[in-house]
A and B are shown apart, each in its own frame.
Chain A
Amino acid sequence: DTGVSQNPRHKITKRGQNVTFRCDPISEHNRLYWYRQTLGQGPEFLTYFQNEAQLEKSRLLSDRFSAERPKGSFSTLEIQRTEQGDSAMYLCASSFLSAPSYNEQFFGPGTRLTVL
């Protein structure tokens, strides 16, 4: 039984570089979520997918951010032209939706991004 996994766990990059994170959800979970958590704050919702469809995006997700879930399994979150304000923990969660019941969002360990 494996939980949500995220890679890499830590990423240090220079301002202006592009970075990509990967999230592998719990097997058979059809929903996948991305959150961002800055130091001393709670997680903030960024976006979520149901299968391969991206159904909602937060205003926090600027044009420099793009998320994909091409085959409805793993997802990638790319940040282009990183800024120091992008430094945060990026959390992925997954859940299973099947009417009438549903499961909770289970979170991965996160990817900590540091932009120098």
Chain B
Amino acid sequence: AQKVTQAQTEISVVEKEDVTLDCVYETRDTTYYLFWYKQPPSGELVFLIRRNSFDEQNEISGRYSWNFQKSTSSFNFTITASQVVDSAVYFCALSPRSGGGYQKVTFGIGTKLQVIP
């Protein structure tokens, strides 16, 4: 069984503040993928990142950075200098690695981020 826990249901920050969204996962699979998706008010899920379970190197993309720690089963997401356009629901997700890629993705409940101008 797979499970993704996002303990923060809602976060509010003032523009330009840094914010970290927490994600803890459970899986029995030895190889798997972790993801973050963004769902703005328009509703369409936007892919942000995929991380392989064997690659614990942290990643930075512009104002976004991700911290993967296998020892604590966590995959946290930090937005630096937040902007109003970052306001959305963010989902952490998990999928077992299967053959060529992945299929069934298990999502967390989501963290609603509100950036106040």
Contact = CB atoms under 8 A, between A and B. Distances in A.
Interface of A: 31, 33, 35, 40-45, 48, 55-56, 58, 89, 91, 93, 95, 97-100, 102, 104-110
User: Which residue among B91, B101, B106 has the maximum number of chain A CB atoms within 10 Å of its CB?
Assistant: B101
Interface in B42-93: 42-47, 50, 91, 93
B42 A56 contact: no
22 contacts: A31-B103, A40-B109, A40-B110, A42-B91, A42-B108, A42-B109, A43-B105, A43-B107, A45-B105, A45-B106, A48-B104, A55-B103, A58-B104, A93-B45, A97-B100, A98-B100, A100-B100, A102-B101, A106-B47, A107-B44, A107-B47, A110-B43
Contacts of A110: 43-44
A54 to B, nearest CB: 12
A42 B100 contact: no
A96 to B, nearest CB: 9
Contacts of B100: 97-100, 102
B70 to A, nearest CB: 22
B21 to A, nearest CB: 13
Nearest to A110: B43
A95 B101 contact: yes
Contact of A56 (B4, B44, B104): B104
Contacts of B105: 35, 43, 45, 105
Given A44-B107, A108-B44, 8 more contacts: A42-B91, A43-B45, A45-B104, A89-B43, A95-B101, A97-B100, A100-B100, A104-B47
A92 B107 CA distance: 15
A45 B2 CA distance: 12
Given A91-B45, A104-B50, A42 B101 contact: no
B93 A56 contact: no
A48 to B, nearest CB: 5
